[in-house]
Chains A and B, each alone.
Chain A
């Protein structure tokens, strides 16, 4: 048995080396091979993690949350591995464990923080038996693959029923996530975001969670941050947003939040400072904070770790081009795209926009979701924006969407060549440039940008990932 595991590891490592030499970034192949040699490889490696495995899943924010948790745990001096290497399905996760092991099959670490694709949860949980499972949120995502959100949620619930040693870390503001307390009966820890001066005006925009997951009635909202995230309650059965253990509130200063959390005796308050933009990143930080508190990390270490966090590739990743800022943002679904557009609209120095839409399998072959993106908010600011360039396999569709959103056609350019499109948008030199790209275009676009600019902050290179 031992021999099998170590030959599986050697094969995996060799495959990883080979695929790098051949220029493939792909990280699931080594794990795939190793699993062929030794189907129990992942379980055997995972069992050696000393203090526990933390699994992060949900639609948006997986990668960022994993990187934040890993940052805090490493700051606290724990030996921590994660699947920063990339792929978040079973083979990719196996690869991450292999790359962190030695040939004899030994792995030396305190924690493993693992991002998991929603559909891969059953197989992965079976192998990892995690101490904590974080559920970030559930939004409409690639419906041609996971055709109904309810089905994905059911799959995750069913596989959690087999995990009696797991504590759930749940987003209290998402009814689709918060329902897991009742449906799994596992111990839970909630995080959430309180209302601030901007909330309350908005109605839920996401269509996913209008209905109560328990009785099917329309949920009523006191306030809503974005998507279906907010303070909901069901008028019929009483299901409502649970009171979170960890709750953030805007502190008035940009990028600073005041956090309420359970101190040793009484609820305590801490100031959370972040260097990343967007409400969605506050949620990610709240998840990371909750996990770190549950693992007993010292408060100052947690806050320090979160302060140091820099976004990964395509998470509002920042570059400098001449005197201008360039932001690259991965888009996968309407909710994430809207978050990115809001950030753009709040940036008074924004000049040009590039949107790259592909329709390969990993992007979602169905592109109709771009009609659920609120491009109308760009149209409202179009006077201050110079040019909207559209590229990718379905660039013409984006151009059409922008036209119907109310952007003058004279400002919209469709350019099938990604290379030319990126050069054109950077060549504008009219303030900050915002680039939005779907998954399979992200790396090519990233490469083209890198060949033309310097990275905004060289001190921390973003880690590639999948979600």
Chain B
């Protein structure tokens, strides 16, 4: 059985981010992969060694700060679990928390978990709009579609991005990179939410979670007609082709 943990579902769920958990859960359910989802928020005991997959969404400044301060209490345990292969998906605000520091809308700096070598600053206009990136999944170039809406500019220091920007702004509107990836940690500014219409990425996360649990990472193919239609509809709109 895979054990997943949705962190701060009441605070970090700004742009339908909960849809990512729905996609993860359904694609396990359709394949009869047993899955337990735990919902953990402020003051709940968190045991990152016991989870295979952890999800964090985005939130407003105030909510992000509350969640960040709470997560700081279990920072070392979380870092150790990540080194041991814990699968993490972190979107926008949740993504920023993993860096060394981030800035809120009023320009104030807040400390991050400093688990990933990156940082976030603010400045200029909000980066808003449809976005497409290309990432590598098991060596295969894969297009990922979504919508970004962030004020923060994230700069990667020693880690790689999730993908290259084909359309949109990405991490900071400058270096053409989007998101971050370290071991089994996947970070992105893309919501939409991200997973439902990017089924290949969802399945990758499920395979990694199975592996983490010590199970055979085999996934029965599903009929992805609906997923592909939603995916290509946006690519067509933006004049891009599917892989």
Contacts and interface: CB of A to CB of B under 8 A. Distances in A.
Contacts of A412: 226
Contact of A399 (B42, B129, B223, B229): B229
Contacts of B61: 148
Contacts of B22: 371, 404
B62 to A, nearest CB: 6
Contacts, number: 89
B147 A367 contact: yes
B237 to A, nearest CB: 8
B193 A368 contact: yes
Most chain A Cβ neighbours within 10 Å, of B126, B226, B229:
B226
A188 B42 CA distance: 35
A210 B62 CA distance: 11
B124 to A, nearest CB: 14
Interface string B153-176: 000000000000000000000000
Interface residues of A, number: 31
B10 A368 contact: no
Interface in A50-91: none
A207 B10 contact: yes
Interface in A359-411: 365-372, 393-394, 396-397, 399-401, 403-404, 409
Most chain A Cβ neighbours within 10 Å, of B18, B23, B66, B196:
B196
B14 interface: yes
A149 B193 CA distance: 20
Nearest to B129: A365
A394 B126 CA distance: 24
A409 B230 CA distance: 14
B206 to A, nearest CB: 15
Contacts of B46: none
B230 A399 contact: yes
Contacts of A207: 10, 13-14
A164 to B, nearest CB: 29
A144 B149 contact: yes
Interface in A276-307: none
Interface in B51-107: 60-63, 66, 105
Contacts of B19: 368, 371, 401, 404
Interface string A253-290: 00000000000000000000000000000000000000
B197 A397 contact: yes
B209 to A, nearest CB: 18
Contact of A366 (B15, B18, B23, B62): B15
Interface in B185-243: 191-193, 196-197, 223, 225-227, 229-230, 233, 237
Contacts of A147: 126, 128, 149, 151
B62 A211 contact: yes
A289 B229 CA distance: 48
A258 to B, nearest CB: 34
B196 A401 contact: yes
A428 interface: no
A404 B196 contact: yes
A371 B226 contact: no
A218 B42 CA distance: 10
B149 A397 contact: no
Contact of B233 (A371, A397, A403): A397
A216 interface: yes
A150 interface: yes
Contacts of B23: 404
A346 B49 CA distance: 45
Interface string A202-239: 00000100110000101000000000000000000000
A143 interface: yes
A111 to B, nearest CB: 38
A148 B60 contact: yes
Contacts of B18: 371-372
Contacts of B233: 394, 396-397
Given A397-B197, A404-B26, A368 B16 contact: yes
A207 B22 CA distance: 18
Interface in B9-41: 10-11, 13-19, 22-23, 26
Given A148-B105, A149-B60, 20 more contacts: A147-B128, A148-B61, A150-B60, A207-B13, A216-B66, A365-B128, A365-B129, A365-B130, A365-B147, A366-B15, A368-B191, A368-B192, A371-B22, A394-B233, A399-B226, A401-B196, A404-B19, A404-B22, A404-B23, A404-B196
Interface of A: 143-144, 147-150, 207, 210-211, 216, 218, 365-372, 393-394, 396-397, 399-401, 403-404, 409, 412, 414
Q: Which 8 A-B pairs have the closest CB atoms?
A: A371-B16, A371-B19, A368-B16, A400-B230, A368-B15, A396-B230, A396-B229, A396-B233
